[in-house]
Amino acid sequence: MEFQAVVMAAGGGSRMTDLTSSIPKPLLPVGNRPLLWYPLNLLERAGFEEVIVITRKEIQKMLNLDTKMKLDFVCISDNMDMGTADSLRHIHQKIKTDVLVLSCDLITDVDLYKVVDLFRTHDATLSMLMKKTHEPTEVVPGQKGKKKPVEQRDFIGVDDTGKRLLFMANEADLDEELVIKRSILQKHPRMHIRTGLMDAHLYCLKKYVVDFLVENRTITSLRSELIPHLVRKQFSSPTSLQQGLDNKEEDQKKKEQASLDIYSFIKEDNSLLKPAPDNSCWNDHRGDMNETLHEGKVRCYVHIMKEGLCYRVNTLGLYIEANRQVPKLLLNLGLEEPLVHGSAQITDRGMVGSDSIIGSSTQVGEKTSIKHSIIGSMCTIKDKVKITNCIIMNSVTIEEGCCLQGSVICHNAVIEKGADIKDCLIGSDQRLETKAKHVNEVIVGTEQLMEI
């Protein structure tokens, strides 16, 4: 087995608490499938037969996934606050090979081999996936008129090929200047700095990186701590032990620092696999392979998607956008399932848009129009209802004459007769009274608000 796959599915969805306070993030329905289904399907299409899923007990109990892969669930206690690096450290005894780590909120049609082949070809420490940042175009319920939070930009440095990852820094960690180390520029005089790229949270990592994490417990996050650390380490020397020190405390301190250095975890047992510098077919590869043969044992690469779909569903806006794109995604993946489930009962099929999805056992009444929307399973939608650009989750009841536009309606909600709802988020189990009118509101229960 060349790689083990790990999916991180224990996070609470802190940037979309209006949704995740009542529905765990991995279970959020996207195109009537749980969010977790999408990274698992990506792995299954790439030929993986087993996946380790790090999650919580309540999520595992509620999961009902259609997959042929063997899922090895590792459940983290609800009272344990773990970062992604902590989670990987938690399962380190299960990791026997190099590892492919994905977040449960990744939805993409990327050819996974493009990331994996970078890792193989360059004997890389890390290869990762990025894509141009996508700004949601739809109105986000409850946020119209509110000032958008300012996102801190990432500065990503790549070589002329656009594949070697040379530099990574977040705006929040910088002073007024962007400082590039001389050691980087000596080896790569031409570097392209890019902003506006989204880290897809898909990483191929060497087994020794997991070994390093086990010992270095100060790193809690893959994205904000481990990955930048690996990128920096490419152009710094291993921590050395100076000889002849009289001070025993200082000597001990240096030994401890060296033991926590990533270089001390790199095995030297693959020398037979290294090509000879003079006879290698890679001889004309400028700079990079020379580094492979001599120094530069830590090497980081990135595949930047130029086309195709790639979303991290980590905000309400991106959740809505991902649902909008699902019919196109399913078509790209070759999943030729009918968008309207065979068990759905629809009186006037002609009034259901060709880009809408309707789940199993849902009933739709007479003269009801559904356009650009996703309707879950076991919903009851009565007569003369108009639904446009909405996400309706499971077991929702919408009574006669209602008009819903640009809204998200969560599980088990009831919308009574004649209600007019625009650009709203209606939480699970909520009930809106007859002829209620709501615009640009978030309506969730007091218990849910307490959880937020």
The rounded percent of the chain whose pLDDT value lies above 70 is: 85
**pLDDT recorded at residue 174:** 74
Quick one: average pLDDT of 245-252? 52
Please state which of the ranges 6-10, 168-172, 245-249, 290-294 shows the lowest mean pLDDT. 290-294
Q: Is the pLDDT of residue 289 over 60?
A: no
Rounded CA separation 199/215 (Å): 26
Rounded CA separation 41/29 (Å): 15
Quick one: average pLDDT of 369-373? 95
What is the per-residue DSSP string for 29-87?
EETTEETTHHHHHHHHHTT--EEEEEE-HHHHHH-----SSEEEEEEPPTT----HHHH
Pick the most confident of 242-251, 292-301, 319-328: 319-328
Q: Are strands 165-170 and 154-158 parallel, antiparallel or unpaired?
A: antiparallel
Mean pLDDT, the chain, rounded, equals: 85
Write the Ramachandran bin of 287: left for phi over 0, alpha for psi from -120 to 50, otherwise beta. left
Quick one: average pLDDT of 304-333? 89
Give the tokens for residue 297.
């044992």
CB 38 within 8 A of CB 107: yes
Pick the most confident of 186-200, 281-295, 328-342, 398-412: 398-412
CB 452 within 8 A of CB 434: no
Quick one: average pLDDT of 64-84? 87
Rounded CA separation 293/332 (Å): 40
CB 390 within 8 A of CB 64: no
Tens-place pLDDT, residues 39-72: 999 999 999 999 999 999 989 988 888 888 999 9
**DSSP assignment, residue 332?**
H
Q: Is the pLDDT of residue 247 over 90?
A: no
**pLDDT recorded at residue 78:** 79
Rounded CA separation 183/185 (Å): 6
**DSSP assignment, residue 224?**
I
Rounded CA separation 154/196 (Å): 7
Q: What are phi and psi of 271, to 5 degrees?
A: -65, -30
Give the tokens for residue 14.
């802190």
**DSSP assignment, residue 333?**
T
What is the per-residue DSSP string for 294-330?
SS----EEEEEE-SS-EEE--SHHHHHHHHHHHHHHH
Amino acid making up residue 226: L
30: CB partners within 8 A, 6+ apart: 38, 107, 313, 319, 322, 323, 326
**pLDDT recorded at residue 170:** 83
Give the tokens for residue 356.
């809408």
Q: Is the pLDDT of residue 30 over 90?
A: yes
Sign of the torsion angle spanned by Cα atoms 260, 271, 93, 100: positive
CB 261 within 8 A of CB 124: no
Q: Which residue has the higher pLDDT, 270 or 349?
A: 349
Q: Is the pLDDT of residue 147 over 70?
A: no
**pLDDT recorded at residue 96:** 95
In Å, how far are 339, 344, 377, 428 from 380, measured between CA atoms? 18, 10, 9, 15
Q: Is the pLDDT of residue 350 over 50?
A: yes
Q: Can you state the angle between helices 37-45 and 112-121, rounded to 10 degrees?
A: 60
Q: Are strands 33-34 and 29-30 parallel, antiparallel or unpaired?
A: antiparallel
Tens-place pLDDT, residues 204-234: 999 999 999 999 999 999 999 999 999 999 9
In this prediction, residue 413 has a pLDDT band, given cuts at 50, 70 and 90, of very high
pTM, rounded to two decimals = 0.87
**pLDDT recorded at residue 291:** 47
**pLDDT recorded at residue 194:** 92
**pLDDT recorded at residue 285:** 42
The rounded percent of the chain whose pLDDT value lies above 90 is: 60
**pLDDT recorded at residue 135:** 74
Give the tokens for residue 140.
């986000």
Distance in angstroms between the alpha carbons of the first and the last residue of the chain: 42
